[in-house]
Chains A and B, each alone.
Chain A
Amino acid sequence: MPEAAALPTNAPQLRQASAADGAVRVELYGVWNLAALEQRLGELKPQLTACARDARSHWDLSAVTMLDHAGALLLWRTWGRKRAPQLSLRPEHEALFEHLALVPDRPAPPESGDRAAPLVGLGRGVLALVEHLAGIVQLLGHLLLDVANLARHPSRIPWREISATLYRTGAQALAITALVGFLIGVTLSYLSARQLQLFGADIYIVNILGIAILRELGPMLAAILVAGRSGSSMTAQLGVMRVTQELDALAVMGISPTRRLILPKVVALGIALPLLVLWTNAIALVGGMLAAQIQLEIDYRFFLSRLPDVVPLANLWLGIGKGAVFGVLIALIACHFGLRIRPNTESLGAGATASVVAAITVVIVVDAIFAVIFSGIGLTR
């Protein structure tokens, strides 16, 4: 069975015949459009190339029922980016070939790799870091000016925005911080209990849990959860407002975006996070207390009465103070990244990720600095 018979009648095909003068006559027929060519590109290409090798070939396209730009382009390339010298085609296909002459031979070459690329990358990274720091300082300056302004005109304080943000970042985060705090409390208590039992020092579980949770774990857990939960949403919100020009609309109305959008977020998170820290502390201690009762049989009444004796109150205040600082930092970083988002989808995703990563890193770094500064406070009686 000849090959042609197996194909649908409108498939793109070509046939070679010898003309009277000895030149080859290449006849194309069928549908030469993208959809039809795709299936048979692998087969047709070598055939076309073979036919094109003889420059004297006469190309006959008059039997082609349908031709589009892709088909025309394929032939054009076979002919070496010019019209075949001997070509007959239907008049309606003429226009397709006119455009092809406009396609440049070679595109602009892609940028070549640079040997100094790693060094350049490092430099760019350092500059970006400096730029971020400068941006955050600038934002902080704007906020301070706004605060000074609001102190003179207390009626302009955006209470509604502050209370809405307080609800979204604080009240709505109660469940998740409680769950995480409780589980961490249980885990910490269980692990410590095993070790303390070895030394018969069961009673010190209260010290360990009290100091660790109130001073470090509570603030850190709450801050990391809030950075992931509220920080990313703040960045995304400001980013979308930048993309949809809402920020510009605010600015031309004479409403300062920092006062209306950023200040309430910073203030609200500065209030909400210490409260969340208190809440996380309490739940984590409850978790730890429960585990201690089961593992070490330490009664919860004893636990509660011993806690204030062995854990200085300064630890609680230190933890809450750290919470306020973390809250302000998270909001600042989130807003800073939100304002830098470019109007495209990729930038939005990258910005939200960068914001969360930066916020968590900064929280941990600042926590370490706090640990050094306050090392003399609250640990010894």
Chain B
Amino acid sequence: MSDGTKRRTVLAGGLSVGVGLAAAPARAEASTPKTDLLTLVVNGRRVRVDVDVRASLLDTLRDRLHLTGTKKGCDQGACGACTVLLDGRRVLSCLTLAVMHEGSEVTTVEGLADGDRLHPVQRAFADHDGFQCGFCTSGQIVSAVGLLAEHPDLTDAEIPELMSGNLCRCAAYGNIRAAIAAAARLSREGE
């Protein structure tokens, strides 16, 4: 324990000088927020929005475009709840700044259904009970849609690894796999 005590002193010393951890670095002065006028094509619609350069694509979709289907589970790139399709590929919208995507096409969970007709992956998730609380579901579904596009010949055995970027704390994993497998079969037969 003596070791710990010694180190504690060092650490405490470091922190108790004036500005603690919140130790805003010297240059973190209150500077004027910078904004940028951005054009995105979201779910097939062209939108123009003035964004703070610090805003993530996720916050821009949710706060500015009011597309709240895409969820913020961690803001750390670790849960997959914010998955969207960016120019057709699944990405984490929390890990990228909106300002970096001038002209990009973004598809969110709201853009998958064709009017009242659910996307086959959405239908499969509903029928196979591929969720419980539903908070990760938008991300799971968009990720699955991205997965099927990446792997048109997806086998059932590949699904667990290729869906491991989407956490489900309720752990509906078995049903999620079943739903994606069913949607994959459907899309293969459809061709």
A and B part of one assembly: no
B interface list, Cβ under 8 A from A: none
